Chain A
Amino acid sequence: MTVPTDPTCAGVWEFPPVESVHLDNGVRVVTCQRDDQDVITIEWLIHAPLWSEPDPVRGVAGITLSAIFEGADERSALGFIEAIEGCGATVSTGVEHLGLRITVQVPGPYLAKVVRLVRGALAGPPFPPSTIDRLVRARLDAALRERTSPERRMSTALHTALFGPGHRLSQPAHGEPDTVRAIDRAAVAAFHAERFRPGSTTVVLVGDLRAHDAVRIVRRACGDWDGPGPAGVPELPGSVADGPGVVLIDRPGAVQSRLVLGRAAPGRSHPGWDPLLIGNRCLGGSTSSRLNRVLRQSSGATYGFVSTLLPLPGRSIAVARGAVAAEATGPSIRAVLDVLHQVRRDGFTDEEHRLAVAQVVTAAPLRYQTSTAVADEISRLLLDGTTLDRLPGSFAQAAGVTAPEAAEAVAAAFAPERLFIVAAGDRAVLQDQFGGLGPTTVLDLRH
C-alpha cells in the first residue's frame, strides 16, 4: 500500500481568523466567522476560577450558575427553558476549575431572542431561597452518585497527589457535600455580585455571524449591562508535588481496573509546548500511537490506552489512562512504564513522528468542521489564560517539531520514575500485583 503524502509538505492550514473587541462596559466579544454555518455557537465564559470561591461554601459557583436560569419562581424558570428550546436551541452549563461556561447552540434566525434570554439570566434573578435549597439538594444527590464513579474519584486522587488535600483542584468542581450543604441564598447572591460582572465575561461567537448580524445583536444585548469593573482573578495558590506515588482506590468485585498515570507538565504558553503536543500524539494521542500499539494491538490488554495534556493556568497535567482486566493490572502498569523508558532511550520512529504531525497539523481542518468545535477550542484557550495571537500560526509551529524534540519532551513530562499512579479496582485482586511500584495509599470507593 502506498505511503501517504508527507503532510509537512502539503501546506499548513491556518485556524480561521479570530477577532476580539471589548465593549465599553468591559464585556469581551470574540468572534470567528464560518460561512454557511447556520447554527451559531455562543460560549459565555465567566472568568471565575473555582479557587475564587470562599472556602466554606465551595461549590457555590456551580449552584449560582444553575440558579441564574431559575428565575423568580417555577413558572419563570420553566418559561426560560421552554423559550430556549422553542427556538430549536440548546443550552448547557459547565463548571470547570478554570471558570464557568454557558454553551448555547442556536439556529441563526433565533440568535437575537436567545442572546437576550441568556443576557437577562446573567443579570441575576432574585434567587428565591426555596430554589437554592432545591438546587443544593439535587447537587447532594448527584454527589452521592459521583462518589461511585471511578473516573471522578481517580481524578480527585490524582489532583490530591499533585496539589495536596484541601486544595481547590483536589476537590470536585461542584464542591464536597460538607461545603455544598452550607450554601444558601446569601452565599449565592454574594458570589453572583462578586463574579458575574460584565468585565469578567467573554462572549465567544462562531458560525455565519455576518448572515445574522451577530455582533450587533450581542452589542445591543450586552451593552447596557452595568456593573463594577472586573473582579480580580487570584493566582492559583500552592505548589505542585512530584511523584512517585501510588494510590489504589478499592472497588471490591470490580472486573476491571481503571488506571491514570500523571504528572505536572509545561503549559500551552511554554516554549516546550509544541514538542510536547507532537510527542503526546506519538505516545498516546491516536489509535495507532505507541501506547495503543503495545497495550491494545499487540496483546488486547485494553480497549484503548491514551495520553493527554490537561490544561491549567501556566502548566498542564500530562496523563496516560486506560482500563484493563483486573488480573492484568500490574503487568499493564509496567508495560506503560516500559514504553516511557523506551521513548527516553530510543525516541520515536520517523513513522510515529510523521503520523503525529499529520494528526495535529494536516487533520486540523477536520477537527474544526463545526462551529461548536471552533468555539470550544477558543474557549479552552481563553479559560486557561493563553493568548489567541498564537492560534493562526500554531499548526505551522507544530509542523516544525522534530522526532527527537518530541521524544525529549515526552521523556521529561512523562518521566516514568516521577509519575503518580492511580488505580481503581478490586484491592483483593490487585494488591499482589503492585510489587516494586512504590508505597501505596489505599482509598475505599464506598466511603
Chain B
Amino acid sequence: MPPTPPLRHTLRNGLRLVVLHDRSLPAVAVCVWYDAGSRHDPSGGSGLAHLLEHLMFRGSSGVAAGEHTALIESAGGETNASTGFERVLFYSTVPSRELGLVLRLEADRMFGLPDGFTEGELEIQRAVVLNERRERYEDVPYGTVWETVVAATFPAGHPCHHLPIGTAAGIARATLADCVSFHRRRYASSNAVLSVVGDVDPDAVVRQVESLFGSGPPARDPVGYSATAAPVPVPASTQRIRRTQGVPVPALSLACQLPSARTPAGPAADLAVLLLGGLTSSRLHTGLVRRRQLASSARFTLLALHDFPSVGILNVRLSADASPADAETALDGEIGSFADAGPTSAELRRGLAQIRRRHGDATATLAGRARELCRYETLFGDADMLSAALTRSLDVSAEDVRAVAALYLTPAHRVTFLIEPEPAR
C-alpha cells in the first residue's frame, strides 16, 4: 500500500505547512525550517544565524527567557534546534495533546522574537556560543580540521567559507542591532516551512495553524540562491595545507566539492563517497587500514548541500609509524583505480543496500519524518517528493559513480590538509 501523502497548505503570508497523520505513537513532532542559515550571515564569520538560533530560546513577546524549553520539557516533550549553511531548524516532539502549546510557542517566536532581545541575553548567549565553539572545535584534538578544509574548499567571500558557528572574533563582534536586522530579514513566514507529523487530525491542524500564524506579515527579503553552482577546482594556493599541533599521531584530511544533492549527479556523489570510505568494507579502509596498515581509520563523509556544491571530507588517522607521504600515495592509488574502473557490481549492490537502510534511519522517528518533510518542501519544492526520494537515490549506475569520481576527485579539486605532531621538546 503506498504511503499516505502529506497534506500541503500555504497560508496567505507565504508560510508553507505540511501535515502527516501518523498514529505510531500518541505523540506529535513539529519542525519549523527557516531559510536563515549561515549563508545569510554578513561576511566575516559572525556566526549570526547560529547566535539567533540560541536567542530564539531566550524569550519573545509572550514567553519569558528560558520558558520555551521549560514548557515543552514540563509537558513531557523534547525540543532542540540546529543551524547549517542552508537552514536553521527547530524541532519539538510532545504528547499529541500538547500540539497547541508547541504551535503557540513557535508562532510567538516567529512573529514576536525581537521583543525578547536584550543586551544582557545577547551577552549570555555570546558566552554560551563561545563555549560551544571551544568544546566542539578549539579544545578537541584534530578539532580544527573541518573548519580549515571547508574554508579552503570555499574561498573567502563564498557564503559557506565560514562554518555556521562563526569565528571567535566574529562572534565577539556581533551586536544586538545585527541580531534584530538578521531576524527581520530572515525570520518571516514566507521563509519558513512548518511540518507536523503525528497522531493528529490534519484538517484541524490547518485550522489551528491558520489561526495562530495566519495574521503574521510576509517576508521582506526574497529568497536567493535558485541556481546550483557546479563544483569547481580549488585554487592552487589552498590545495595543500600543513600544520603542526599538539596531537599524538599525524592526520591526513582531504576535502573536495561534489555535485549538489539537488542535481542529477547528487546521488552518485553520495554513493562514491560511501563506497570509497563510508563503510568498513569500503576501499580506503580495506586498502589503508586492513591491507597496508598505514592508518587506523579512513572515513569519507558527505556534507550534502543543495544550493551549493556538497562537500566530501576524508579523514585518515595514520598509524604511529606510517609516513604521511606513503599514506597519500596509497590514497591516490585507491581513488585513482576507483575513478578508472568504477565500483564493481557487488560494491554497487552493497552501497545501495546501505542507502536504503540509511533512508529508514533518517525517518525512523516522528521528528526525523518532520525534518525530512521540511527538507523536501524547502529544498526540492515539494514535501511529497520524500516518498520518491529513496527511488531517486537508488537509481544510480556504476558508470554514474565512476564519472563523479573521475571528474571531481582529482588533485585539482582537492584540498589536502596534513596535521603533524609538534616536535618533542
Q: Does A associate with B in a complex?
A: yes
A residues at B contact (CB < 8 Å): 1-5, 7, 10, 36, 38-39, 74, 77-78, 81-82, 85-90, 105, 107, 134, 137-138, 140-142, 144-145, 147-150, 253-256, 258, 286-288, 293, 296-303, 323-325, 351, 354-355, 358-359, 361-363, 365-366, 369-370
Q: Does B62 contact A (CB under 8 A)?
A: yes
* Nearest CB of B to A396, in Å: 15
B290 touches A74 (CB 8 A): yes
B124 touches A365 (CB 8 A): no
Q: Which residues of B contact A134 (CB under 8 A)?
A: 293
| Contact indicator B76/A7 (Cβ below 8 Å) | yes
Q: How close is A70's CB to chain B, nearest CB, in angstroms? A: 9
B247 to chain A: which residues have CB within 8 Å? 148
Q: Tell me if B131 counts as interface (CB < 8 A to partner A).
A: yes
Q: How far is the CA of A299 from the CA of B130 in the complex (A)?
A: 13
Stretch at the interface among B12-20, B94-102, B227-235: B94-102
Instruction: Name the A residues within 8 Å of B246 (CB-CB).
Output: 148, 253
CB distance A354 to B290 under 8 Å? no
Q: Tell me, yes or no, whether B319 is within 8 Å of chain A by CB.
A: yes
B354 and A88 contact, CB distance less than 8 A: yes
29 residue pairs A–B, Cβ–Cβ below 8 Å: A1-B71, A1-B104, A1-B105, A4-B71, A4-B76, A5-B75, A5-B98, A10-B95, A39-B364, A77-B290, A78-B290, A81-B280, A85-B280, A86-B350, A107-B360, A145-B141, A148-B141, A150-B139, A255-B138, A256-B131, A298-B124, A299-B124, A300-B124, A300-B127, A300-B131, A323-B139, A358-B73, A363-B76, A366-B93
Main secondary structure of the interface of A (DSSP, over half): mixed
Question: Which residues of chain A are near B221, meaning CB under 8 Å?
Answer: none
| Nearest CB in chain A: distance from B232 CB, A | 33
Find chain B residues with CB under 8 A from A256 CB: 131, 134-135, 138-139
B360 near A38: Cβ-Cβ < 8 Å? yes
Interface class of chain B by DSSP: helix
Interfacial chain B residues near A82, Cβ < 8 Å = 281, 346, 350
> From residue B338, how far is it (CB to closest CB) to chain A in Å?
16
Question: Which residues on the B side are within 8 Å of A325 (C-beta)?
Answer: 127, 130-131, 134
CB contact under 8 A between A89 and B128, given known A82-B281, A141-B249, A148-B141: no
Is B284 engaged at the interface, CB distance under 8 Å to the other chain?
no
The reply to whether A86 and B349 form a contact with Cβ atoms under 8 Å apart is yes
A318 → chain B closest CB, angstroms: 21
Q: Which residues of B contact A (CB under 8 A)?
A: 24-27, 62-63, 65-67, 69-71, 73-79, 93, 95, 97-98, 101, 104-105, 108, 123-132, 134-135, 138-139, 141, 246-249, 279-281, 286, 289-291, 293, 296, 317, 319-320, 346, 349-350, 353-354, 356-357, 360-361, 364-366
Q: How far is the CB of B301 from chain A (nearest CB, A)?
A: 15
Are B26 and A365 within 8 A (Cβ)?
Answer: yes
Given contacts A86-B350, A300-B131, A323-B135, contact A288 B70 (CB under 8 A): yes
- CB pair A369–B320 under 8 Å, yes or no, is no
A141 to B295, CA, bound (A): 9
Q: How far is the CA of A433 from the CA of B308 in the complex (A)?
A: 48
Interfacial chain A residues near B79, Cβ < 8 Å: 287
Minimum distance in angstroms from A42 CB to a CB of chain B: 14
Contact B74 A85 (CB under 8 A): no
Instruction: Chain B residues near A288: list those with CB within 8 A.
Output: 66, 69-70, 73-74
* Cβ contact of A255, chosen from B66, B93, B139, B353, cutoff 8 A: B139
* Assembly CA distance A85 to B105 (angstroms): 43
Q: Are A86 and B346 in contact (CB under 8 A)?
A: yes
A7 lies within 8 A of B75 (CB): yes
Nearest chain B CB to A409's CB is how many angstroms away?
A: 20
A77 to chain B, nearest CB (A): 7
**Contact assessment for A286 and B73 in the assembled complex, using a CB-CB cutoff below 8 Å:** yes
Which are the 10 A-B pairs with shortest beta-carbon distances? A362-B76, A300-B127, A4-B75, A88-B353, A88-B357, A300-B124, A358-B76, A303-B132, A288-B70, A256-B139
Measured in the bound complex, the distance between the Cα atoms of B73 and A82 in whole Å is 43
Check A297–B280 contact: CB distance below 8 A.
no
Chain B residues contacting A354 (CB-CB under 8 Å) are: 74
| A7 to B56 Cα, complex, angstroms | 26
By the criterion CB–CB under 8 Å, are A85 and B281 in contact?
A: yes
In the complex, what distance in Å separates the CA atom of A301 from the CA atom of B365?
33
Instruction: Provide the bound-state CA to CA distance between A138 and B65, in Å.
Output: 49
Contacts of A362 in B (CB 8 A): 75-76, 95
Complex Cα spacing A253 to B132, Å: 18
B27 interface neighbour in A78, A298, A301, A366, Cβ under 8 Å: A366
